[in-house]
Structure formats: structure tokens, C-alpha cells
Amino acid sequence: MSATAADLMAYDAALAAYDPALGLEVHVELNTATKMFCGCPTGFGAEPNTQVCPTCLGLPGALPVLNRGAIEYTVLAGMMLDCRTPSVSKWDRKNYFYPDMPKNYQISQFDLPLCLGGGVPLYDHCYPKDAQKDIEESGKEIGLTRIHLEEDVAKSTHSSNGTSIDFNRAGTPLMEIVSEPEITSPEEAFAYLNSLRQILIYGDLSDADMEKGQMRCDVNVSVRPDSQEELGVKIELKNMNSVSAVRRALHYEISRQIRVINEGGELVQSTRRWDDDIGETQQMRTKEDAHDYRYFPDPDLLPVKTEGIVEKMRLQVPELPHQKADRFVRDFSISEYDASVLSSDRDLALYFEETANESEAKKKVANWVINNVLAVLNERDLKVAQCPVSSTKLASIIKMVESGQISNNQAKETFVALFDNPDREPASIITELGFEPADADLIESMVEEVISGHPEKVTEIQEGNEKLINWLTGQVMKVSKGKANPKIIGDLLRKKIL
Ligand code: ZN
Ligand code: MN
């Protein structure tokens, strides 16, 4: 469901006197092979309750053993987001009762998390497409409070017969990224989530797919009158599971809070849930039943000294999306816009770069990848990593266009044919499709025929109206029944007339 124009106008009008302040808490499942405190595998899709042991089942007396890889991943995430890592980090028990967490506490981090500070840059291309022309503050960065590491709980599935619990997910390393309440619109929240996701994927830390539950998000929403310094009453939206739903939910919730205040009502600190089908938020609980988690240090786990980990991970910080975009502009002389589109996806950037490295025409390659390659992939609902045409073969198709051997349209057809038969060579497909350039003598005679048939145009061209070359080229194309190459014809016309 999308917001109607009337909704958006009402939203803009209500906002005139109020400032929203939004803070996001994002949970991300890390890509480690094993769980946070035991050796069970984390792979998705196994039979329920087959990837379990006494530790991740929460049986009494089972002892946790730290997964060093998860700590390294979190420190790396912190480095990519410009956080600092305190020299010592520790583990705490967060106590609460929940059926999918039988030991009745979650191992988490309270006062000494792995990362503090830092920020998430909001790249222009991360905003919703329809909002990219009205970005309020281009280049804005949202400050982070902290990043800590904890364990995921089991997954409950409710049905009419009762509730089943699958412990395969229990104990999966979960990184929680907490932002400052510096986000001021639903569109910035959207950009924040996209940018964060892109950066985590660049670091190979998580697939961060919200639809698959690998990335989950709670949003703290408050509004305050323009003139007021201190934040308004904080209301939490729980368990959002898509980036576009976060945007819709925030449009609704911000308007709702402003309406309550305007009507003289009072907002109460509470937790709400978003119903995407109905398009409204509903109250779950108020502050009266807020948890007191009674955090205390976990006696089974030693604090972590981080110095060695920081040193090791410093060498593994990858190039970030905006750094890659800058380099593409510098090295390949493509436009900033093209560079930002190409670097928005790690696999797309890799495919472009490999093709550009094998080609003289870098700008053509950028154009081709953004327009033709993405179009064919979208049509077939494939990801860039699944593109069957190798960068070498794409580079050779583009080279044939550049040398005038085939036209751009013929190149597109060749690419599609190659897509379906990726083991074949572009040259053999071109022969089969009849895209071989016609005999040179034949083209020359067709060009001469057209020149002598249109003496008045030839005079005009010689008097300076060079655009007419294109018109004459079209005439020769007609005579050749579309078989001749327009670039070769144009060159020949120019040579003979000018
Ligand atoms: Zn286990
Ligand atoms: Mn958490």
C-alpha cells in the first residue's frame, strides 16, 4: 500500500509546526558459520530443531564459549561506520521471561559494548526514488550511539493449534546497531536502512535481507513543537520487516502523534506495532509494563580485550561505497551519478569494474551495465551475481560496437542471445544472427547511389549543415535493408562529401 497524494499533503501541513525525532535500533544476523556461544551451524532452511545443543537450547549447566569470528565481524562493522572500540568489552545477562528463550536471560552487552559512536552516511541514491529530488540535507550523516553483540532467540510460529518453536535460530550472533534520534523524516529512515544494509554487505558481514529476517528494525518515534528543545514522548514501533514498510509506518505514526497533540490529547510512552495491511499502528503495551531487565555481568564469560582484534580487522576494512564511487569517477572518467548507481551494489560494482578494465570505452561500459545489463536482469528477476554473461564477453560486444562492426541495437540482441547461451562466443552469435558487416564494395556502391540521388542535400552538407549526414545515413540503411552498419556508412559519407 502506498501513501496517497492527500495523505502526503496532510502530512506536510501537520509538520509545519512540529519536528519529528526518530532513532533506529537495528538487529542484524551475522554471516558466521557457527552460533555465538556454541559450535552449532547457523545455516538457514534445515529441519526444525536439528541445529541445537544443550547451550543454545538453554539447558541448565551448559556453558557458553565465545565465537571469536562474531566479535571480529562486529569490530569490522564498527570500523566501516567510524566507531571506536573500547579496549575492554564485556558480556551481561538481560533478564526477561519469554517462551523462545528458556534460560530466561539473553546474553548481551550493557555498559561496555564493542563499538561506540560513529555514523551512517545517507547517500542520495539510498533515498526512495520518488523522494530523491527533495532531499532536505544532501550528505547528512546519522550519528550512532553504539553497536553491541548478543544472541538471537528461537523462532515461534503461531497457528490455530498452538505455537511451535524452532531452536535452529537460537544463539545466532546478532549485532544491534543503535542510532541517535537524529533522523527527521520517514525518507531519511528509509535511506538510513538502505545505506546501512549496503555497507554491511560490502563488509560481507551479513546478507541483511529484511524480508528474510536477517535485518530487523525497531523505531523510536517522537514529535515536538518547533520551539521546544527537549524531545517529545517516545513511542516505539516494534519489529518492522521491510524498508518501505518503515517509511509507511512513520508517515502514519508521525501524523497520528501530531493529531493527538493538536486535539489536546496526551501521548503516553508505549510500544506499538505496525499493521501494513490496514495501514495503521496499534498499541501493544504502555510504560507501566516496561521491563526492568536487571542487567548484570555474565559470570560464565570473561571480558574481551579488543586490542589484537582491532589490529587484525584494520587490515580487512574494505573500500566503502562512496570511496568506490569516487574512484570510478577518477579512474574511469564516468559521471558522479553513474558512479553512485554502479557502487550502490557490491556485485554490480565488481561486474562494471571487470568489464571496464577490459575495455577502452569506459563510459560506454557504464552506460551498458546501467541500462542494458540491469534491464535484462530485472526482466528475468535475477541478481547481478547471477548474470551468465562474463565481463570479458560483454567487453568484446562493446568493442564491436565501438569499431563499427555492429550497431548498438544489434549488440543488445547479441547480449540477450548470449544471456541464454553463455558458453557461446559473441562472434559466432553475430554470424548466426546475420549481423556480419556487408561486403565493403557493396556498401560503397550503396553510399554512392544515395549521394548521387540527393545532390541538394549534399550541397547543404558542404555548406555546413552536417546534421544531414544522419539523414543520408538513414537512406543508405534503407537501401541495405538495415544490414549495413550506420557508423561505417556515416564515416564513408563524410569521407566522400566533405
Ligand atoms: Zn548449540
Ligand atoms: Mn537487542
Q: What is the pLDDT of residue 481?
A: 75
Q: Determine the distance separating the centroid of ligand 2 and the alpha carbon of 150, expressed in angstroms.
A: 7
Q: Determine the distance separating the centroid of ligand 1 and the alpha carbon of 97, expressed in angstroms.
A: 20
* Total length of the chain: 498
Q: Determine the distance separating the centroid of ligand 1 and the alpha carbon of 132, expressed in angstroms.
A: 45
Give residue-wise pLDDT tens across range 344-363.
999 999 999 999 999 999 99
Q: Is 94 helix (H, G, I), strand (E, B) or coil?
A: strand
Contact 496, 475 (CB under 8 A): no
Q: Determine the distance separating the centroid of ligand 1 and the alpha carbon of 420, expressed in angstroms.
A: 44
Q: Determine the distance separating the centroid of ligand 2 and the alpha carbon of 61, expressed in angstroms.
A: 24
Closest ligand (CA of 110): 2
Q: What is the pLDDT of residue 480?
A: 80
Closest ligand (CA of 239): 2
Q: Determine the distance separating the centroid of ligand 2 and the alpha carbon of 27, expressed in angstroms.
A: 7
Q: How confident is the model at residue 437 (pLDDT cuts 50, 70, 90)?
A: low
Q: What is the pLDDT of residue 111?
A: 95
Q: How confident is the model at residue 117 (pLDDT cuts 50, 70, 90)?
A: very high
Range 232-247 average pLDDT: 94
Show the cell assigned to 380: 528475468
Q: Determine the distance separating the centroid of ligand 2 and the alpha carbon of 341, expressed in angstroms.
A: 33
Q: Determine the distance separating the centroid of ligand 1 and the alpha carbon of 204, expressed in angstroms.
A: 23
Show the cell assigned to 344: 550502490
Q: How confident is the model at residue 142 (pLDDT cuts 50, 70, 90)?
A: very high
Q: Determine the distance separating the centroid of ligand 1 and the alpha carbon of 229, expressed in angstroms.
A: 48
Q: Determine the distance separating the centroid of ligand 2 and the alpha carbon of 390, expressed in angstroms.
A: 42
Q: What is the pLDDT of residue 152?
A: 96
Count helices and strands in the chain by DSSP H and E runs: 18, 16
Q: Determine the distance separating the centroid of ligand 1 and the alpha carbon of 179, expressed in angstroms.
A: 31
Q: What is the pLDDT of residue 1?
A: 43
CA distances from 460 to 448, 450, 492 (A): 17, 15, 17
Contact 330, 116 (CB under 8 A): no
- Model pTM? 0.83
Give residue-wise pLDDT tens across range 253-296.
999 999 999 999 999 999 999 999 999 999 998 876 667 899 99
Q: Determine the distance separating the centroid of ligand 2 and the alpha carbon of 84, expressed in angstroms.
A: 20
- Over 90: is that where the pLDDT of 488 sits? no
Contact 253, 272 (CB under 8 A): yes
Supply the mean pLDDT for the chain.
92
Q: Determine the distance separating the centroid of ligand 2 and the alpha carbon of 239, expressed in angstroms.
A: 11
Q: Which of 390, 458, 438 is nearest to 418 (CA)?
A: 390
Closest ligand (CA of 106): 2
- Over 90: is that where the pLDDT of 49 sits? yes
Contact 90, 303 (CB under 8 A): yes
Range 398-417 average pLDDT: 89
Q: Which of 167, 156, 163 is nearest to 50 (CA)?
A: 167
Contact 281, 252 (CB under 8 A): yes
Range 203-216 average pLDDT: 93
Q: Residues within 5 Å of ion ligand 1 by Cβ?
A: 38, 40, 53, 55-56
Q: Determine the distance separating the centroid of ligand 2 and the alpha carbon of 108, expressed in angstroms.
A: 7
Q: What is the pLDDT of residue 53?
A: 97
Q: Determine the distance separating the centroid of ligand 1 and the alpha carbon of 187, expressed in angstroms.
A: 40
Between these two residues, 37 and 439, which has the higher pLDDT value?
37
Q: Determine the distance separating the centroid of ligand 1 and the alpha carbon of 467, expressed in angstroms.
A: 73
Percentage of the chain beyond pLDDT 90 is 76
Closest ligand (CA of 52): 1
154-158, 165-169, 483-487: which has the minimum mean pLDDT?
483-487
Q: Determine the distance separating the centroid of ligand 2 and the alpha carbon of 38, expressed in angstroms.
A: 19
- Over 60: is that where the pLDDT of 3 sits? no
Ramachandran sector of residue 64 (left: φ over 0; alpha: ψ -120 to 50; beta: rest): beta
Q: Determine the distance separating the centroid of ligand 1 and the alpha carbon of 50, expressed in angstroms.
A: 10
